[in-house]
Every structure is written in C-alpha cells, then in structure tokens.
Chain A
Amino acid sequence: SQQGEEDPQALSIQEGENATMNCSYKTSINNLQWYRQNSGRGLVHLILIRSNEREKHSGRLRVTLDTSKKSSSLLITASRAADTASYFCATLDTGRRALTFGSGTRLQVQP
C-alpha cells in the first residue's frame, strides 16, 4: 500500500482562493516532498521539508509537517488557473533510496 495518502482526492476552487491539501504517511521519514503533475505530463518537484522542520515557504507555497501525527499539508495561496494540476506527496524509502508517492489531490482552479 502507498506510504502517503492525500486528502481530499479532488478540490475545485475559484481563482484567488487558497487551496489546502493534506498528506498522511505511515512510517518515520527523513523528508517529505511535494510534486505537481500537469495532465498527461511527468511530475515536477515543488518543495521539500525535512523531518526536523515544521514549516517551509516557497513563493505562494507553504508546507507544514507534523511528525507526531505523521501528516503534512500543502497550502497554495492566491491560486491561479495555471495551478490546475494533480499534487502528490512523497516520502523516502531509505532502504531502496526511492520515493513512495501518495494517491494525489486533483486541484481545479476555475478562472
């Protein structure tokens, strides 16, 4: 089963609103990463938060991490139609040095 599970599965908002996506994971982590996937394309790395960090910002993105609850959230502020995409969290399997991806949140931003 997947290490990360995203919530909600799908989200539709109006341009200018904030979008919040949540990710829960099962085992202890070294870091947690968020990726974005435009329809029919590969994934693009957005932001990484290490296990000893609680919050991180990058432009309009804000990521939080609560290791006690094994959860993370991604906030996109002042959303734009171009933010329409699927967003995935990923955690590192240190044994295989490979990422395990969650099920994704499909974000639709209406212009």
Chain B
Amino acid sequence: EADIYQTPRYLVIGTGKKITLECSQTMGHDKMYWYQQDPGMELHLIHYSYGVNSTEKGDLSSESTVSRIRTEHFPLTLESARPSHTSQYLCASSEWDSSTYEQYFGPGTRLTVT
C-alpha cells in the first residue's frame, strides 16, 4: 500500500459551501497531482505540482485551487461548491527524477454537492 492519504473519504455538502480536500504523502515525493473522475469514467488531470510553491493547471478546467506549502501536503479547495463539482477526486504523487514516473494514488474523496 502506498503511503498517501486523503480525507475525507466521502463528503456530502450543500451548494455554495467552501470545502477543502486534504491529501498528504509520507514518501517524500516532489511531484503531486489531483485528478477528477466520474464513476466508471476516465481520469482527468486538474492540478499538479513540481514541488513546494509550485502549482500548475492540468488538462481539465477546474474551479478548484491548490496550494503546496509543504512537500507532503497538497490540499484542493473549492470556494463555492456546486452540483457540477460532484465527482471523485484522486490525489497522486511520484518521484521527481524517476525514470518511470510511476504514480502512487490515494483512496480518493467522493464528493456530492446537493
């Protein structure tokens, strides 16, 4: 099992609320990622980070924001949740200088916005 954690695992919240999805890893990986995945569908990269103070937008436009103040921590924030944000959010990490860039995934957060 990879040492990458996500909390909460499940979240049901009303429209307009601010939420933060937590992701932390204990492997010392520099690179971290956030993916959005609808049930049974493909993964879409929404944010990634090369290291501390680095954040980049991914392929899928997202109203969420991320921060990387510490190597091990990569939280994702939605300032005002909407039903269209209902999805599963997966966090992952990988080594910076890996020749393979194998990614290690957390268990995911399933978000439902009512």
A interface list, Cβ under 8 A from B: 2, 31, 33, 35, 40-45, 48, 86, 88, 90, 92, 96-104, 106
Interchain CB contact under 8 A, A98 and B48: yes
Within 8 A of A (CB), among B71-99: 88, 90, 92, 94, 96
Q: Is B61 an interface residue (CB 8 A)?
A: no
Q: How many A-B residue pairs have CB under 8 A?
A: 63
Among A48, A98, A99, A102, point to the contact of B42 (Cβ < 8 A). Answer: A102
| Closest B residue by C-beta to A42 | B105
What separation, in Å, do the CA atoms of A104 and B42 have in the docked complex? 6
Q: How many residues of B contact A (CB 8 A)?
A: 31
Docked-complex contact B48 and A96, CB < 8 angstroms: yes
Q: In the bound complex, do residue A43 and residue B42 qualify as a contact, i.e. CB atoms below 8 Å apart?
A: no
Question: Which DSSP category, helix, strand, loop or mixed, fits chain A's interface?
Answer: strand
CB-based contact B43/A101 at 8 Å: yes
Instruction: Specify the chain A residue showing the minimal Cβ separation from B6.
Output: A42
A94 → chain B closest CB, angstroms: 9
Interface string of B25-51 (1 = CB under 8 A from A): 000000101010000111101001010
Establish whether residues A42 and B33, one from each chain, have CB atoms under 8 Å apart when the complex forms.
no
| Residue pair B41, A40 in contact (C-beta under 8 Å) | no
A45 vs B40: C-alpha distance when bound (angstroms): 18
**Using Cβ atoms and an 8 Å threshold, which residues of chain B touch A98?**
31, 33, 45, 48, 58, 101
